[in-house]
A and B are shown apart, each in its own frame.
Chain A
Amino acid sequence: MEFFRPATLNDALTLKSAHPTALCINGGTDVMVELNFDRKRPETLLDLSAISELSEWSDQGDSILLGAGVSYTRIYHELAKELPGLAMASRTVGSLQIRNKGGVGGNLGSASPAGDAHPALLASGATVNVASVNGTRAIDINDFYVGPKKNAMNPDEIITSVLIPKARGGQQYSKIGTRNAMVIAVCSFGIAIDSTNKSVGTGIGSAGPTPLRAHEAESYAASHLDWTHGSAVTPEMMKEFGALVAAASKPIDDVRGTAAYRRHTLAVISGRCLKWAWTSTQEMRSK
C-alpha cells in the first residue's frame, strides 16, 4: 500500500489526479474500520490530515464554510448557534475519541446512509465543495448522494468544504440506536425550519439506500405551521408529518433493526423533531 500525506491542498489534488483510486483518509473513523474488517484494500491512501485549510471554518455572512476535516467536537463546541442541527448530529457521533477525529468530509466521502451528518446537511440545504487539478465544483447536497455508499464525485476530486446556511429557525436531529451512546443509527432524522422563507427542510438517515429528503412532509409542515402567530404544533400535525416522513423512507430489515421498526420510529422521532424545532423557532423569534 502506498501512503501519501501531502502538506497542501494543491499537492493533494496532484496526487489524487495521479492516483484516482487513492482512498482519502482524514480522521480515519470510517476508513480504518473498513480496512480493519478487510472490506477495503486500497492500493493507495491519501492522508489529508496535514492540510490545515481543511480543518478550518469561516463565517460567510449567511452561511458557514465548514472545512471537510473540522472535527465533530469542534462543530458542536464552536457552531452550535449557527448550525444547531449539525451540532446536535455531531454530538451523537461515536465516542468522544471518534468525535475528536472525525468530520463531515468522511461522512460525505463514505456516503453511508447511516452517517450522522447527512440528515442535517440535507435539511439545511448544504452545498458540498469539491476540488481537483481541473478546478473546483459546488455540488448541491440534493444531488450528492447517488446510490448506496456512492456520491456524485469524480475519482480525481477531493471534498474540501461544505457551505451550510446558518439556521433561520429551529433545527433538530434525533437518532434511533439500540444503545444510549456510541451507536450507529438504526434510523435518524434531521429538520431545519426556515422562518425567513417559511419553509421546512428534512433529512432521513439509515432508512434507505441513500440519505433521503421527505419532500411531502416538508410541504405539509410549511403549509400547516402557524407562521403568523406561532401557535404550537398539534399532535395531529406531528402524526401527519411523521407519517409523511415514514412514507418517504425506503428501509430494509438488517441486523440493526427491521424495516417496520424503522418506519414506525421515523414517524415518532420526526413528529417530535417538528414540535421541538418549532418551539425553538418561537424562542428564537421572541429573543
Chain B
Amino acid sequence: MSNSTLPTKQRDHVEAPVLGGLGESVARPDGTLKVTGDFAYSSDLWADGMLWASTLRSPHPHARIKSINIAPALKINGVSAVLTHDDVPGSKLYGLEIVDQPVLAFDTIRFHGEAIAIVAADHPETAKRAAQAIVVEYEILEPVVDADYAISGNAPVIHDGGNITRHVPIIFGPQNLKADVVVKGEYEVGMQDQAPLGPESGLAIPADDGGIDLYLSTQWLHVDRGQLATVLGLPPEKVRLTLAGVGGAFGAREDMSMQAHIALLAMRTGKPVKIVYSREESFFGHVHRHPAKLRYEHGVTKEGKLVYVKANIVLDGGAYASSSPAVCANAACFAVGPYEVESATIDAYVAYTNNPPCGAMRGFGAVQTGFAYESQMDKIAETLGMDPIELRLKNAMVRDSLMPTGQPVDSAAPVAEILEKLRAMPLPPLTATTDGFDVIELPGGASNVTHGEGVRRGIGYAVGIKNIGFSEGFDDYSTAKVRLQIINGEPVVEVHTAAAEVGQGLVTLKGQIARTELGVQRVVVHVSDTQVGSAGSTSASRQSYVTGGAVMTACKAVRDEVLLYAMEKLGHLHPHLLHFRANYKMVNGEIRDGEGQLVSSLADLVKDRVFECTREYRHRPTTPIDPITGQGLPHAQFAFAGHRAVVDVDIETGMVKVIEMASVQDVGKALNPQAVEGQIEGGTAQGLGLAILEEIQVVNGKVKNPSFTDYLIPTVLDMPPVRSIILEYADEHAPYGLRGVGEAPTISSTPAVVSAIRQATGLALTRVPVRPEHITSTL
C-alpha cells in the first residue's frame, strides 16, 4: 500500500534505552486482533442478565410533539422499561459547549432522527419492535434547511437566542486595499460523515452504591461523565466510565449519543443495559462534518503576491450546537491557509437549522476552508497564467509569519519545502490501455466503463494548515499516573490515563514513552477509565502531545523519586548522585552514572517499594480571540501538510480513478514512524472520500442515504498507494518536539484531488464531493 520515506536519523534526544522505545515503529498490541476479527469492541460487551436498548427516533426534521403513548410498547412481552423525557431525573439537556440538546426530545423535534424514547427489553429485536410500537402524535412543521436563510433574520427561530450559533469576524491588517487583480469564487462543501466502522455501542451496569458503571466507546471519558452526572442527577464520582474497544471515532464520538440512554435504562431497571446502533442508526446518532458555503475574494498583485483575502463563510450547524462554536472559529482562523497576506477580512458564521446536527470531524473547520482557499489559489494562478506551485511558493508562510489573528507561527512552517518536495517526487506512469491492460486500473475500475476512451490525466497540488490542541484559552490538559515496581524480580512500569484510544495508537505510544523515560522493558498500559484525572479529548490531533506529555512528565517524576531514593540508599557509595543526579540514566532496568558505570539494578534498589506519580501536563496557554477583530493568540501549535494527487478521469462518464496520492508532512518528531504513516494514509483517504464520494444527502431536512450502500467511502480500488515524505522539524514547545499528525493530511488531500480533476477536465468544480454528473454536465 505504501511507498514512503521514513525518517531514519535525527532522533538524538529521544534515543531509547531499551527496545520498543520512542522512534521505533513498535507494533500495536491490538493490530493482529483487529485484522483477525478477535478484537473486543464495545459492541462485543456482555453481562449476565443484561437487557438490550433501542431508540425511537423522529421521522420528521421539524415537528411539535403533541403526545407520546408508550403503553403499546410496555405491553410487549420482554420489555422492561420505556422512557421518555419525563423520566430524565436531572438536566433534560446536554451539550459540549452550549447545553441545548435534549437527552430525549420534548415539545419540539428539531432534526430527522432525533431521539424521543428509549426501550430496554430482553432481546434486541424485542426492544426494536417495542420502540416502533410507541405512538407519537406530531404536528409537522416546515423545516429550516438552508443555513443562509436561517441566519438571514427572516427564518423561524430554532432556539431562543436566534439562529446564529456563533459569528467569528477577523479583521487583520489595513482594510479596503486595492489590488491589480481580483479573483472571486464561491465554494460549497457537502456533509461528510466520520463513518467509523464501529457503531455507537456500550454497556451500563447499575452499581450497589446507587451509582453506575459504563463501558463504552467515546473520545473523552471525563466530559461524558460530567454530562452524564448532570443528566442522571448523580455526583460525578458515582458515574464511573471505562473505555471499551473503540472502532474509530474521527470526531463522531465527541458528543454523547447512547451514553445517557443506557445509563437511564440501567438505573430504571436495575439491570445491565447494552446498546449497539445499527449502521443506519449510527448515521442519525452522531454529528457530522459541517456543510459550508464559502464566498471568497482574493486581491493579488500582477506578480502573484496576495494583497488581501476576504471570506464569508457560512457553516450549517444543524439542529444543535455540538462543537459548532469552535468549528466556526477554526474556519475563520484558517480561512487564508498557509499563506502570508497583508490584509484579511473574514466573517465565519455557524447557523442553527433543522438539518442533522454537525460537530467535530477530523480537520474541524479547516477542511472546509482548505478546499476553498486552495481552489482560489488555483483560480488565481490560472487568472495570472502562473504555475500554481509558483504562486503558492510566492505566498508561503515561513517561521514567524503572522496568522490572520495576528498570532505568529513561532515554530517550523516548511510550506515551501513541502511544495518543493511534492513537485520533485517522480510521477506515476500513464495507465496502460493496450495489450493485456487491467480494467481495474482504469476509471470505473471493476465496472468495465472504459478501456481508455475518454480518459484524461490530471495532476493537482494543495497544502494546508491546522491547529493542534484545544484553542482560544481552553485549559487543555491531560493526566497520567505512572507506577514503577518490581514484579517477580523484574521492574515493571504501569501507565494509567483516561485518554481514549480510538485507533490512533496512543496505547502503543504511552508504552514507548515509559520505556524511553524509565529504561524499563515491561510496561503495562492500564485500561483508560475515570479512576484517574481527565486526559482531555482524543481530538484536535492532541493526545500524543498532551497525554504523551503527561506520561513523559509523570515518568520523569518517578525517575526523580527513584534517583532520590538511590541517593538515600547508595549515596555513600556514589557521592556524585548528590549533585549530578541529572546525569544519571535509567537504562535496561539499571541505574548508571554519567560515565556509564552501574549504580544499581532497579530490582536490587527498589525491592518492595512502589514509586507512583500522577502528573498533569498542559500545552502552553492560548488566549481567546477578540470578538470584534478576531485578534489573539488562540493556538498552541500549527501543523502543515501537502498533497499531490494524480488522477485519471473518464470525461465522458465522469468516472474518476485516483492513481496516486503523494504527501509531505512535518510531524516534528516521528515517535512511531509506522503510526505516523498510518495517520497520513488514513487522513489522505478521508480527504479523498470528501473530494469524490462521501456526502450525506439531506433533502428538505431528511437524510436520504443512511447506509454504506449509498454513503460511499473509498474502497481499496478507490484509494491508491500513498507516497509519503515525513519531515521532522522539532517544535521546541512540544514534548520530544512532536507535532500532532492526524488531521493535517485530511485538509490538503481534498483540494489536491479536486485540483487534479480540474486539470484533467478544464471544469471549475466548486463543490465537493465532485459527483460524476458534475463532470459530464457540460457535455
Are B715's CB and A180's CB within 8 A?
Answer: yes
Are A175's CB and B704's CB within 8 A?
Answer: no
| Residues of chain B with a CB closer than 8 A to A178's CB | 692-693, 712, 771-772
Are B773's CB and A257's CB within 8 A?
Answer: yes
In the assembly, what is the distance between CA of A148 and CA of B704, in Å?
Answer: 20
Are A258's CB and B446's CB within 8 A?
Answer: no
Which residues of A come within 8 Å of B, CB atoms?
33, 36-37, 88, 91-92, 172-184, 186, 255-258, 260-261, 264-265, 268-269, 272, 276
Apart from A172-B448, A181-B447, what are 18 other A-B pairs with CB-CB below 8 Å? A33-B709, A37-B280, A37-B707, A91-B446, A174-B444, A177-B444, A178-B771, A179-B717, A181-B445, A181-B715, A181-B717, A182-B715, A255-B704, A255-B705, A258-B773, A261-B777, A265-B654, A268-B454
Please report which residues of chain B, range 670-696, place their CB below 8 angstroms from some CB of chain A when the two chains form the complex: 692-693
| Residues of chain A with a CB closer than 8 A to B451's CB | 272, 276
Q: Is B714 an interface residue (CB 8 A)?
A: yes
Given the known interface contacts A36-B278, A37-B707, the answer about A176 and B776 at a Cβ–Cβ threshold of 8 Å is no
Are A269's CB and B445's CB within 8 A?
Answer: no
| Residues of chain A with a CB closer than 8 A to B24's CB | none
Report which of B654, B697, B715 forms a contact with A179, defined as CB distance below 8 A.
B715
| Residues of chain B with a CB closer than 8 A to A256's CB | 710
Are B715's CB and A257's CB within 8 A?
Answer: no
5 A-B pairs with the lowest CB-CB distances in the bound complex, closest first = A180-B445, A261-B773, A175-B447, A180-B717, A181-B717
Q: Is B718 an interface residue (CB 8 A)?
A: yes
Are A88's CB and B448's CB within 8 A?
Answer: yes
Q: Give B517 Cβ to nearest chain A Cβ, in Å.
A: 45
| Residues of chain B with a CB closer than 8 A to A183's CB | 447, 712
Q: Give B333 Cβ to nearest chain A Cβ, in Å.
A: 33
In the assembly, what is the distance between CA of A256 and CA of B772, in Å?
Answer: 10
Are A272's CB and B715's CB within 8 A?
Answer: no
Q: Is B240 an interface residue (CB 8 A)?
A: no
Write the chain A residue with the least CB distance to B711: A255
How many of B's residues come within 8 Å of A, CB to CB?
39
| Residues of chain B with a CB closer than 8 A to A268's CB | 454, 652-653
Q: Give B29 Cβ to nearest chain A Cβ, in Å.
A: 28
Are A179's CB and B448's CB within 8 A?
Answer: no
Q: Is B779 an interface residue (CB 8 A)?
A: yes
Write the chain A residue with the least CB distance to B697: A255
Report which of B278, B705, B718 forms a contact with A181, defined as CB distance below 8 A.
B718
Q: When each residue 435-450 of chain B gets 1 if its CB lies under 8 Å from chain A and 0 otherwise, what string results?
A: 0000010011111111
Report which of A175, A258, A261, A265 forms a contact with B448, defined as CB distance below 8 A.
A175
Q: Give A84 Cβ to nearest chain B Cβ, in Å.
A: 11
In the assembly, what is the distance between CA of A273 and CA of B714, in Å?
Answer: 26
Q: Give B706 Cβ to nearest chain A Cβ, in Å.
A: 10
Write the chain A residue with the least CB distance to B708: A182
In the assembly, what is the distance between CA of A172 and CA of B449, in Å?
Answer: 10
Report which of B440, B653, B715 forms a contact with A269, defined as CB distance below 8 A.
B653
In the assembly, what is the distance between CA of A272 and CA of B10, in Å?
Answer: 55
In the assembly, what is the distance between CA of A178 and CA of B693, in Å?
Answer: 7
Q: Is B310 an interface residue (CB 8 A)?
A: no
| Residues of chain B with a CB closer than 8 A to A36's CB | 278
Are B653's CB and A179's CB within 8 A?
Answer: no
Write the chain A residue with the least CB distance to B444: A180
In the assembly, what is the distance between CA of A246 and CA of B672, in Å?
Answer: 54
Q: Give B646 Cβ to nearest chain A Cβ, in Å.
A: 15
Are A174's CB and B449's CB within 8 A?
Answer: yes
Are A272's CB and B710's CB within 8 A?
Answer: no
Q: Give A225 Cβ to nearest chain B Cβ, in Å.
A: 19
| Residues of chain B with a CB closer than 8 A to A174's CB | 444, 447-449
Are A255's CB and B449's CB within 8 A?
Answer: no
Q: Is B112 an interface residue (CB 8 A)?
A: no
Are A260's CB and B773's CB within 8 A?
Answer: yes
In the assembly, what is the distance between CA of A91 and CA of B717, in Å?
Answer: 14
In the assembly, what is the distance between CA of A276 and CA of B448, in Å?
Answer: 11
Q: Is B744 an interface residue (CB 8 A)?
A: no
Q: Is B26 an interface residue (CB 8 A)?
A: no
| Residues of chain A with a CB closer than 8 A to B669's CB | none
In the assembly, what is the distance between CA of A266 and CA of B183, in Å?
Answer: 38
| Residues of chain A with a CB closer than 8 A to B449's CB | 174-176, 269, 272
Q: Give B685 Cβ to nearest chain A Cβ, in Å.
A: 13
Report which of B280, B655, B657 forms a contact with A176, defined as CB distance below 8 A.
B655
Q: Give B659 Cβ to nearest chain A Cβ, in Å.
A: 11
In the assembly, what is the distance between CA of A182 and CA of B448, in Å?
Answer: 13
| Residues of chain B with a CB closer than 8 A to A172's CB | 448
Given the known interface contacts A261-B772, A268-B454, the answer about A179 and B718 at a Cβ–Cβ threshold of 8 Å is yes
Are B448's CB and A173's CB within 8 A?
Answer: yes
Q: List 29 A-B contacts (CB under 8 A).
A: A91-B448, A92-B448, A172-B448, A174-B449, A175-B444, A175-B448, A176-B447, A176-B449, A176-B772, A178-B693, A179-B712, A180-B443, A180-B444, A180-B447, A180-B717, A181-B718, A183-B447, A184-B710, A186-B772, A255-B710, A257-B771, A257-B772, A258-B773, A260-B777, A261-B654, A261-B772, A269-B449, A269-B653, A272-B453
